[in-house]
Amino acid sequence: MQMSKQNLNLLSLGNAATQQNVRTWAHTSINKYFMILNNHLADKSYLAAERFSIADAYLFVVYQWTKYTNVSTQNYPNLSNYIERIARRNSIKSALQHEAQYL
Protein backbone atom coordinates (compact mmCIF):
# COMPACT_ATOMS: atom_id res chain seq x y z
CA MET A 1 0.00 0.00 0.00
CA GLN A 2 1.39 3.36 -0.98
CA MET A 3 1.07 6.10 1.65
CA SER A 4 -0.34 9.38 0.44
CA LYS A 5 0.80 12.74 1.76
CA GLN A 6 -2.53 13.03 3.57
CA ASN A 7 -2.03 9.68 5.32
CA LEU A 8 1.45 10.71 6.42
CA ASN A 9 0.04 13.92 7.86
CA LEU A 10 -2.52 11.93 9.83
CA LEU A 11 0.22 9.67 11.17
CA SER A 12 2.17 12.68 12.42
CA LEU A 13 -0.66 13.68 14.77
CA GLY A 14 1.06 11.59 17.43
CA ASN A 15 4.04 13.93 17.30
CA ALA A 16 4.05 16.31 20.32
CA ALA A 17 5.16 19.31 18.27
CA THR A 18 2.41 18.68 15.73
CA GLN A 19 -0.17 18.33 18.48
CA GLN A 20 0.91 21.66 19.96
CA ASN A 21 0.67 23.30 16.54
CA VAL A 22 -2.85 21.93 16.14
CA ARG A 23 -3.81 23.24 19.61
CA THR A 24 -2.40 26.68 18.82
CA TRP A 25 -4.22 26.79 15.49
CA ALA A 26 -7.47 25.62 17.11
CA HIS A 27 -7.33 28.20 19.92
CA THR A 28 -6.58 30.98 17.44
CA SER A 29 -9.50 29.90 15.26
CA ILE A 30 -11.89 29.51 18.18
CA ASN A 31 -11.00 32.92 19.58
CA LYS A 32 -11.46 34.51 16.15
CA TYR A 33 -14.93 33.02 15.74
CA PHE A 34 -15.96 33.68 19.33
CA MET A 35 -15.08 37.36 18.79
CA ILE A 36 -17.21 37.43 15.64
CA LEU A 37 -20.10 35.84 17.54
CA ASN A 38 -19.58 38.17 20.50
CA ASN A 39 -19.81 41.21 18.22
CA HIS A 40 -22.82 39.78 16.37
CA LEU A 41 -24.69 39.21 19.63
CA ALA A 42 -24.05 42.73 20.94
CA ASP A 43 -27.50 43.85 19.78
CA LYS A 44 -29.31 40.55 19.17
CA SER A 45 -31.17 38.13 21.39
CA TYR A 46 -30.68 35.17 19.09
CA LEU A 47 -28.09 34.08 16.59
CA ALA A 48 -29.93 33.83 13.27
CA ALA A 49 -33.51 34.96 13.76
CA GLU A 50 -35.83 36.97 15.98
CA ARG A 51 -36.58 33.82 17.94
CA PHE A 52 -34.79 30.71 19.17
CA SER A 53 -33.72 28.46 16.29
CA ILE A 54 -31.61 25.40 15.57
CA ALA A 55 -28.63 27.76 15.16
CA ASP A 56 -28.95 28.76 18.82
CA ALA A 57 -29.21 25.15 19.97
CA TYR A 58 -26.15 24.20 17.96
CA LEU A 59 -24.06 27.14 19.19
CA PHE A 60 -25.02 26.26 22.75
CA VAL A 61 -23.69 22.72 22.27
CA VAL A 62 -20.46 23.90 20.64
CA TYR A 63 -19.91 26.46 23.39
CA GLN A 64 -20.28 23.73 26.02
CA TRP A 65 -17.20 22.02 24.58
CA THR A 66 -15.08 24.87 25.97
CA LYS A 67 -15.50 23.24 29.39
CA TYR A 68 -13.14 20.51 28.22
CA THR A 69 -10.49 22.80 26.77
CA ASN A 70 -8.22 25.62 27.86
CA VAL A 71 -10.25 28.13 25.86
CA SER A 72 -11.11 31.14 27.99
CA THR A 73 -14.51 32.67 27.38
CA GLN A 74 -13.99 35.71 29.64
CA ASN A 75 -13.31 38.07 26.74
CA TYR A 76 -16.73 37.48 25.19
CA PRO A 77 -19.36 39.02 27.50
CA ASN A 78 -22.12 39.18 24.86
CA LEU A 79 -21.58 35.54 23.96
CA SER A 80 -21.43 34.51 27.63
CA ASN A 81 -24.65 36.39 28.44
CA TYR A 82 -26.32 34.82 25.41
CA ILE A 83 -25.26 31.32 26.53
CA GLU A 84 -26.55 31.96 30.06
CA ARG A 85 -29.87 33.16 28.62
CA ILE A 86 -30.15 30.08 26.37
CA ALA A 87 -29.27 27.80 29.33
CA ARG A 88 -32.29 29.15 31.24
CA ARG A 89 -34.70 27.85 28.58
CA ASN A 90 -36.81 24.94 29.81
CA SER A 91 -36.06 22.94 26.65
CA ILE A 92 -32.32 23.31 27.22
CA LYS A 93 -32.60 22.41 30.90
CA SER A 94 -34.56 19.31 29.96
CA ALA A 95 -32.05 18.28 27.28
CA LEU A 96 -29.13 18.73 29.70
CA GLN A 97 -30.88 16.63 32.36
CA HIS A 98 -31.52 13.89 29.82
CA GLU A 99 -27.92 14.05 28.59
CA ALA A 100 -26.56 13.83 32.15
CA GLN A 101 -28.00 10.32 32.47
CA TYR A 102 -25.50 9.14 29.88
CA LEU A 103 -22.39 11.00 30.99
What proportion of the chain, given as a percentage, has pLDDT over 70?
Answer: 86
Distance CA 4, CA 91 (A): 46
Residue 3: partners with Cβ closer than 8 Å, 6 or more residues away: 11
Evaluate if residue 99 carries a pLDDT over 60.
yes
Evaluate if residue 3 carries a pLDDT over 60.
no
Distance CA 91, CA 53 (A): 12
Evaluate if residue 24 carries a pLDDT over 80.
yes
Q: What are phi and psi of 50, to 5 degrees?
A: -85, 0
Cα torsion at 19, 70, 74, 21 (round to 10°)? -10
**In the chain, what are the domain boundaries?**
30-100
State pTM to two decimals.
0.76
Evaluate if residue 18 carries a pLDDT over 60.
yes
Q: What is the CATH number of domain 30-100?
A: 1.20.1050.10
Q: Give residue 13's pLDDT band: very low, low, confident or very high (50, 70, 90).
A: low
Residue 49: partners with Cβ closer than 8 Å, 6 or more residues away: 55
